[in-house]
Amino acid sequence: MARRLAVFLLKSVLHDHQSFDEAFAGSSARDAFAAMESRDRAFARAIATIALRRLGQVEDMLARFLEKPLAADAFEARAILIAGATQLAFMDVAPHAAIGLAVEQAKASRFSRHLGGLINAVLRRVSENKAAILSEQDAAVLNTPAWLWERWVAAYGEATAREIAGAHLEEPPLDLSVKADAAEWAAKLEGEVLPWGSVRLSHKGRVEEIEGYAEGAWWVQDAAAGIPALLLADIAGGRVADLCAAPGGKTAQLAAAGAQVTSVDISASRLRRLGENAARLGLSVEIVKANVGEWQPKDRFDAILLDAPCSATGTIRRNPDIAYLKTAEDIAALARVQKRLLAHALTLLAPGGTLVFATCSLEPEEGEAQIAALLADRADVRLLPIDAVELNLPPEVVTPNGCLRTLPFHAGGMDGFFAARLTRS
């Protein structure tokens, strides 16, 4: 059953272009997967996630033994082959189990029944030849879609692009943001406190079962995602707008720092989650459903955090499906949205106030270039440079002009984030 779910998840992402998390969440509502034990679901998730992290290598292996490419409508057989080869090459699953169950699954399906023999032959050859193939593959290049590889080489140089791609192969740790007493919680949970206050756990389990979850002592948030809110210093008692706020990781930080927070988002369902999260954490925030590009509050804000919608290529390590769901056109379209939201957000800032613009993208159009264009355009807007020492940040995450640029391999692994701190006269 685990293999069937893994194949369903791979088909959902690679063929139906659905997000992995949506497909995984939706799968439990399907009769076929409803009764699965959580251990099997976790194994299915592992197969599909590793397959997406290593997709280029896996497809390269398969192509070596397929006499001709599979027909376009053989997407189920393709997913069965990918799941099977992933188990053989990257999960140390016994060949008779990985191959036998793949063939069984194909034979039980009216779409793939006729390909059972081919699947058997190809997976056998993968199993026999995997060590030799792995030793000659260029994992970084193969596992990064070509258009992203070209962009990252252009933006960061080849050596850094290789480090980015390398980080995408690693299973990320679980990072928490803590309401208070990070050191105490790190000790209790046997984690470590990172210098800017996030707590990192190496062991994983169901988040809801970890001590402190139910009492609202902490929430899950990548260590890099925890930095933008810290850039708004001295906000206790101030009026702060968190724009594009749901599900509320940064809202929680701002509220825990003592600000009066107004959280704005366009999505009702995501705002519902924000409300639930704030309630669990015992934090009080004002929630507004609005389009940030048009929102007209009564008063201006002392501080604003705009965590704009973006391509999220900085989160590929946590969400490897993103590499196969996003396109270059998405980046251009999102950059236009960000420009509009940022221009409007600046109108909501009190003169002399501070605005942090953030995206979890590796693409300069959604970060460095966005801010360079704004500063060239607007004499009334100024960059307030970030000082790594001020927040105990590793020096490599601050750019020469004082913006935040984290990359997935920084600090033992973190999301790729960009942030700029601005003020308006």
Ligand X SMILES: C[S@@+](CC[C@H](N)C(=O)[O-])C[C@H]1O[C@@H](n2cnc3c(N)ncnc32)[C@H](O)[C@@H]1O
Among 249, 314, 320, 364, binds ligand X (CB under 6 A): 249
What are the phi and psi torsion angles at 98 (to 5°)?
Answer: -60, -45
Binding site annotation covers 191?
no
Stretch that binds ligand X, among 52-60, 175-183, 240-248, 343-351 (CB under 6 A): 240-248
Strands 239-243 and 301-307: parallel
Binding site annotation covers 403?
no
Q: Give the nearer residue to ligand X in terms of CB position, either 86 or 198.
A: 198
Q: Give the nearer residue to ligand X in terms of CB position, either 116 or 408.
A: 408
Residue 353 is a binding residue for ligand X (CB under 6 A): no
Binding string to ligand X for residues 256 to 295, with x set by CB under 6 A, is what? Answer: ---------xxx--x--------------------xxx--
Q: Give the nearer residue to ligand X in terms of CB position, either 28 or 291.
A: 291
Q: Point out the catalytic residue in the list 229, 255, 360, 371.
A: 360
Q: Give the nearer residue to ligand X in terms of CB position, either 88 or 259.
A: 259
Among 76, 307, 366, 415, binds ligand X (CB under 6 A): 307
Starting at the earlier edge strand, list the strands of the sheet with 218-220: 192-193, 199-201, 174-178, 218-220
Q: Which amino acid is at 361?
A: S
Residue 245 is a binding residue for ligand X (CB under 6 A): yes
Residue 248 is a binding residue for ligand X (CB under 6 A): yes
Cis peptide before 247 (omega within 30 of 0): yes
The helix (run of H) or strand (run of E) holding residue 351 is strand 349-359
Structure tokens given for 409: 């391999």
68 to 87, contacts with ligand X by CB under 6 A?
none
Conformation bin of residue 413: beta by default, left when phi > 0, alpha when psi is -120 to 50: left
Binding site annotation covers 247?
yes
Structure tokens given for 304: 């604003």
The helix (run of H) or strand (run of E) holding residue 65 is helix 55-65
* Nearest-angstrom CA–CA distance, 405 and 155: 12
Instruction: Find the shortest distance in angstroms from Cβ 395 to ligand X.
Output: 25
Residue 416 is a binding residue for ligand X (CB under 6 A): no
The verdict on whether 403 is a catalytic residue reads no
- From the number of C-beta atoms within 10 Å of its C-beta (0-12, 13-18, 19+), residue 353 rates as buried
* Nearest-angstrom CA–CA distance, 99 and 83: 10
Q: Which residues are annotated as a binding site for S-adenosyl-L-methionine?
A: 244-250, 265, 307
Site for ligand X, rule CB under 6 A:
244-250, 265-267, 270, 291-293, 307, 309
Q: Which residues are annotated as a binding site?
A: 244-250, 265, 307
Annotated catalytic residues are: 360
